């Protein structure tokens, strides 16, 4: 009697773990340096990680430095999200959280200077818009979900852009009530 070892399906989605994350620098970035590996609510874990890093960097940053960091983090994140999505074989994996990191840094920078209450409001509003996906966030989220990697050679690049875009729109939506609250 011959026992055969099952061969895994090469088109089946990969499971992100520490080994996967450390295999490529893009994975490390896209998975939020491990925050995206959270078994529950990886997007929230990524946003909390972004908040912590923002607070830790804040003493050394000014508007110019934040702007340069955000401008560098956007194309770097697009690349990292595209590579990681392709290697996971999923167009928008929940474990990719660089989109939350970039978007929340942008939101915190836009509402700065702000105290803990405003930052907490930014966190709650951003997570709400990102999770519920109302209006423009839903549009941005669905924009590239229809790409087919089997027929579109740029599908993974489009997927990376789609991963990033809906969170940037969620950050913009979250900024509106905060700005109105601060002006009123």
Residue 165 backbone dihedrals phi, psi, to 5 degrees? -65, -45
Q: How far is CA 13 from CA 71, 105, 132, 163, 164, in A?
A: 31, 29, 25, 17, 20
Taking the C-alpha atoms of residue 20 and residue 13, their distance in angstroms, rounded to an integer, is 12
Task: Let me know if residue 1 belongs to a domain.
Answer: no
Task: Let me know if residue 165 belongs to a domain.
Answer: yes
Task: Let me know if residue 12 belongs to a domain.
Answer: no
| Total domains present in the chain | 1
**Going by C-beta distance under 8 Å and a sequence separation of 6 or more, which residues neighbour residue 105?**
50, 53, 54, 66, 69, 70, 73
Q: For the whole model, what pTM was predicted?
A: 0.90
Task: Let me know if residue 3 belongs to a domain.
Answer: no
Range of the domain at 124: 18-183
Other CB atoms within 10 Å distance of the CB of residue 102: 24
Other CB atoms within 10 Å distance of the CB of residue 127: 19
Task: Let me know if residue 94 belongs to a domain.
Answer: yes
Task: Let me know if residue 6 belongs to a domain.
Answer: no
Task: Let me know if residue 77 belongs to a domain.
Answer: yes
As a whole number, mean pLDDT of residues 74-84 equals 97
Q: What is the pLDDT of residues 17-54, one digit of tens each?
A: 999 999 999 999 999 999 999 999 999 999 999 999 99
Task: Let me know if residue 2 belongs to a domain.
Answer: no
Q: What is the pLDDT of residues 98-148, one digit of tens each?
A: 999 999 999 999 998 888 999 999 999 999 999 999 899 989 888 888 888
């Amino acid at each position: 009697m011959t026992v055969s070892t099952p061969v895994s399906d090469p088109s089946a989605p990969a499971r992100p773990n520490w080994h996967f994350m450390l295999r490529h620098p893009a994975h490390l970035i896209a998975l939020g340096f491990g925050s995206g590996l959270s078994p529950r609510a990886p997007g929230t874990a990524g946003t909390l990680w972004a908040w912590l890093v923002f607070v830790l960097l804040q003493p050394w940053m000014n508007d110019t430095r934040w702007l340069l960091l955000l401008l560098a983090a956007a194309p770097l994140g697009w690349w990292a999200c595209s590579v990681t999505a392709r290697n996971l074989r999923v167009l928008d994996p929940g474990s990719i959280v660089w989109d939350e990191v970039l978007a929340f840094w942008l939101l915190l920078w836009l509402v700065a200077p702000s105290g803990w209450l405003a930052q907490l409001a930014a966190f709650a509003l951003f997570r709400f818009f990102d999770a519920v996906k109302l209006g423009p966030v839903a549009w941005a989220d669905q924009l590239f979900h229809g790409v087919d990697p089997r027929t579109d050679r740029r599908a993974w690049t489009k997927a990376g852009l789609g991963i990033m875009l809906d969170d940037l729109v969620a950050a913009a939506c979250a900024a509106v009530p905060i700005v109105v609250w601060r002006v009123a």
